[in-house]
Amino acid sequence: MRILAVNPWIEDFAAYDYWLKPYGFLKILTYLKQHGAEVTLIDCLDRLRFGGQESTPYGSGKFLSEQIPTPDVLKNVPRHWKRYGMKTEVFLDLASQIKKPDYILLTSSMTYWYTGVQYTVDLLRTLFPQTPLILGGTYATLCPDHARKNISCDHVFTATELEQFFALLNVPYQRDHFRNMLPDYPAFYPKMEYLVLKTGEGCMFDCTFCAVHRIAPEFYKVPGNSICDYLYSHYKKGIRNFVFSDDSLFFPQEYIKELLHKLLSLGITDAFFHTPNGLHLRAIDKELAVLMKKLNFIRPYVSIETLDRELRQEISPKLETGDIERVASYLWEAGYKKGEVFCYMLFCLPGQDLQQVMRDCQILHAMGFSVNLTEFSPIPGTEIMKNTAAHIEDPLLTNNSIYLFFQENFKEVFVMKSKIREMNRRF
């Protein structure tokens, strides 16, 4: 069985390679290869192979981009709409050299990036008009009806329909084996500067603004020894940037402590670990703080969301204000300098007082945290969208980079963001 797999372009007002790899998609492709499939991947976002600016020391960097017409629904947004990733002619040249596949598999990421999926599918249809095209990924999972209506594909599978997906391809689905499997990066990426990995799937919490439970309803962990061996094997090949993209990395505590202690015993002290999805602050104790520092968890991000107790109980009851003060002391004692730890703060939530957000940020800054303001936008399928944004039909309008433009107080928001950036620069 020959399979052409494609990670599509991004179309947006802004995009940056903060370690973007289609992790779940790569697991599926690895699984298919293990079952005898001949898999060819074209990753339109592979900067190292298809162009982009030089990477930072941590492996992130800018994509190639080109300005394209802005979708009609976003015409009033005063920003340039772009396509990010390889040049179209490079894609066409690569795809035209591929022997006709039996199936084309296409993944998808952010729901508001679906126009990049559309563009990719249209090109694939011209090249392989008779080949069944299967769409999966986050957009397909959270907006399956929209995908079936707007994307010219033969099948749409959500993240919870793996068994049906593999049945269509006549591949046996061994649930436990698939869960514990890790992506075979070298099979798909001839050059790598960072490695994205997950110690498991799912989350211990169920925040009203988050869609993790729609994508990964069960919480589980891959055996720690497998993670250590996997990471160490890539370390020996020269990889020095490792990106944990878990939604609950520090749970259970015993699991992550054992894992980090083993990595430390292997002598991995000249690598860098990144946590872009945010760490659950409540899980960090003195021991974990010390392990983080010794293993070079660089600019760790912790998820706080809000200091407003009433709002927190409503949207994300996963910590108390006392947890923040306690963990801050652990981090500074472990050797982190003030300003080196970032906290995610949500703002522009429905009914949220912006002045209260500003006061919260000042409190956190005084405690030693840098603040990363995360613009709220409703994610399809979440509780908060069901309650507040049911009228939004086009996923493009849920883009957090433009959602602010549709708020009455958007000028005040931009002033506040500027003040927060200035506060962070004082460290």
Domains of the chain with bracketed CATH: 2-178 (3.40.50.280), 194-425 (3.20.20.70)
Q: How high is the pLDDT of residue 391?
A: 65
Q: How high is the pLDDT of residue 381?
A: 81
Q: Compute the distance between CA of residue 299 and CA of residue 221 in angstroms, rounded to an integer.
A: 24
Does the structure show a pLDDT above 80 at 361? yes
Q: Compute the distance between CA of residue 289 and CA of residue 335 in angstroms, rounded to an integer.
A: 9
% of the chain with per-residue pLDDT over 90: 82
Q: Which of 62-76, 136-150, 343-357, 393-407 has the lowest mean pLDDT?
A: 393-407
Q: Compute the distance between CA of residue 376 and CA of residue 85 in angstroms, rounded to an integer.
A: 26
Q: For the residues 307-334, what does the mean pLDDT come to?
A: 89
Does the structure show a pLDDT above 80 at 160? yes
pLDDT band at 407 (very low <50, low <70, confident <90, very high): low
pLDDT tens-digit series, residues 235-278 = 999 999 999 999 999 999 999 999 999 999 999 999 999 999 99
Sequence letter at residue 420 = I
pLDDT tens-digit series, residues 198-212 = 999 999 888 999 999
Q: Is the pTM of this model over 0.85?
A: yes
Q: For the residues 327-335, what does the mean pLDDT come to?
A: 97
Q: How high is the pLDDT of residue 163?
A: 97
Q: How high is the pLDDT of residue 390?
A: 53
Q: For the residues 364-393, what does the mean pLDDT come to?
A: 84
Does the structure show a pLDDT above 60 at 389? no
Does the structure show a pLDDT above 90 at 300? yes
Structural element, H or E, at residue 145: helix 144-150
pLDDT band at 322 (very low <50, low <70, confident <90, very high): confident
Q: How high is the pLDDT of residue 348?
A: 82
Residue pair 184/30 in contact (Cβ under 8 Å)? The answer is yes
Specify the residue for token string 């046996």: 172
Q: For the residues 74-84, what does the mean pLDDT come to?
A: 93
Burial of 304 (0-12, 13-18, 19+ CB in 10 A): buried
